[in-house]
Amino acid sequence: MKIKVASPSITQSDVEALNESLLSGHLTSGPRVREFEQAFADYIGVKEAVAVNSGTASLHAPLAAKGIGFGDEVIVPALTFFATVSSVIHQGAVPVFCDISMENFSLCPEDLERRITPRTKAIIVVHYFGHSAEMTEIMAIAKHHNLSVIEDCAQSHGTTYKGQMTGSIGEFGSFSMFATKHMTTCEGGMITTNDPELADYMRCFRSHGLKGRNDHVMVGYNYRMPDPLAALGSSQLTRLDQMNAGRIAASEKVINAIRDIEWLSVPMVPDHVKHTYFWCHILIDEEKLGMSTQTLIGRLSEQGVECRNRYEEPLYKQPLLTTDLPEILKISAGNHLPDYGNLNLKNSERVAGSIIGLPNRPDLSDDEIQRINEVLRSL
Ligand SMILES: Cc1ncc(COP(=O)(O)O)c(C=O)c1O
């Protein structure tokens, strides 16, 4: 028996919404996109939502809307998916890495202060694994230095911090709707903001920079979401809370069963955070366990327990930032090119490669949870 880690939830009503839109004749962006944007803005509790065709586009467009470009620095966590960084480079700006906090694996507010220079224009905060960053502290630092905050919520749809949805706290929220996320449009993204002017800019940016039919007022992109995928998104959104409740219940059961195992740490969740468990993440102490995380994953797989494992190294170790630097980055940074190759951020180094995500499918059975527990204890 193989215990699957997760699988997308697609229901008959999702299929019907998709089919209805396909047969309506609106195949590109149209009424279903506008409906999805309105429903998503209402769900997150912001004035505006702008649908795009990937989470990466939903990071790129806010940077463009803020006029961030050559020579500007954007602070990013050292441990995240590369799109958080590549969107900064696409915009011709310079990523500056910040360490993560051991409490929630998101940006560490103390380290953040140290990374700010006169060239810093924005901070991208990633809410990792469904947890939330400490937004009160991060927003206070951003306000003090007049910096824009983009919340990368690719892994935190429905997560709340002090009662507020992630994606409604910073100047922008950026969501991915990739197949494995809390909700999906197969591929897709959404940007949230309370600023209608920035939303207008991003609507133009996502559609070739077009105003009307002929006037290209900026060098935009084709980042549009097609109507059928937006119809699927609206249908998924109606079930997001229910799907999250299933993830949370399954994750909490797994965590409660294994929390006393001495070679692992389960997530620390303060009362002011509603964690939505994109992953049921545990941090491995390889020394105590007596094997590497990669060996552990192999052993779990042999015993039928599937798990997730990403971000084996802090991103500043990617060859693209050490030996094969993109030309655009060299030109943009000029004399201020960070020495990525010599960075050594303590928490990021500790955590990289040592987190695994255990199965947390909403339909995980009690027998499966018992089996996961037994296998972990047998190692
Ligand atoms: C933290 C983070 N940011 C950005 C992205 C990019 O999203 P997409 O794959 O939809 O472009 C992802 C996707 O996995 C992600 O996990």
Rounded to an integer, what distance in angstroms lies between the CA atom of residue 225 and that of residue 230? 7
For residue 129, being part of any structural domain is answered with: yes
What is the Cα gyration radius of the chain?
21
E strand or H helix at 173, and its extent? Answer: strand 172-176
| Residue whose C-alpha is closest to residue 54's, from 6, 78, 90 | 90
For residue 269, the one-letter residue type is V
- Give the β-pairing of 264-265 and 215-216: unpaired
Which atom number of ligand 1 is nearest to the Cα of residue 178?
A: 10
Residue 223 Cβ < 6 Å to ligand 1: no
State the pLDDT at residue 310. 86
Of 200, 223, 239, which closes a domain?
Answer: 239
Given 183, 209, 239, which residue is the final one in a domain?
239
226 and 277 inside one domain: no
pLDDT band at 36 (very low <50, low <70, confident <90, very high): very high
Is the domain of 134 the same as that of 275? no
CATH number at residue 264: 3.90.1150.10
- Number of Cβ within 10 Å of residue 366's Cβ equals 9
Atom 14 of ligand 1 has which residue's CA nearest to it? 81
Residue 127 has pLDDT above 90, yes or no: yes
23 confidence band (pLDDT: 50, 70, 90): very high
Give the end of a domain, one of 239, 255, 278: 239
pLDDT tens for each residue of 242-293: 999 999 999 999 999 999 999 999 999 999 999 999 999 999 999 999 999 9
- Of ligand 1's listed atoms, the one at least distance from the Cα of 80 is 1
The predicted structure's pLDDT at residue 243: 97
Question: How far is the centre of ligand 1, averaged over its atoms, from the C-alpha of 122 (Å)?
Answer: 18
164 with 249, same domain: the answer is no
CA distances from 130 to 85, 88, 104, 232 (A): 19, 23, 10, 22
Counting the structural domains of the chain, the total is 2
Question: Does a structural domain hold residue 118?
Answer: yes
- pLDDT above 90 (res 7): no
Distance CA 206, CA 245 (A): 33
> Ligand 1 centre and the CA of 55: distance in Å?
5
Structural domain includes residue 31: yes
Q: Which domain holds residue 366?
A: 240-311+353-377
Residue 342 lies in a domain: no
Q: Tell me the average pLDDT across 199-208.
A: 98
Q: Taking the complete model, does pTM exceed 0.95, yes or no?
A: yes
In a shared domain, residues 40 and 17: yes
pLDDT of residue 272: 98
Which pLDDT score, from 0 to 100, does residue 95 have? 98
Mean residue pLDDT across the chain = 97
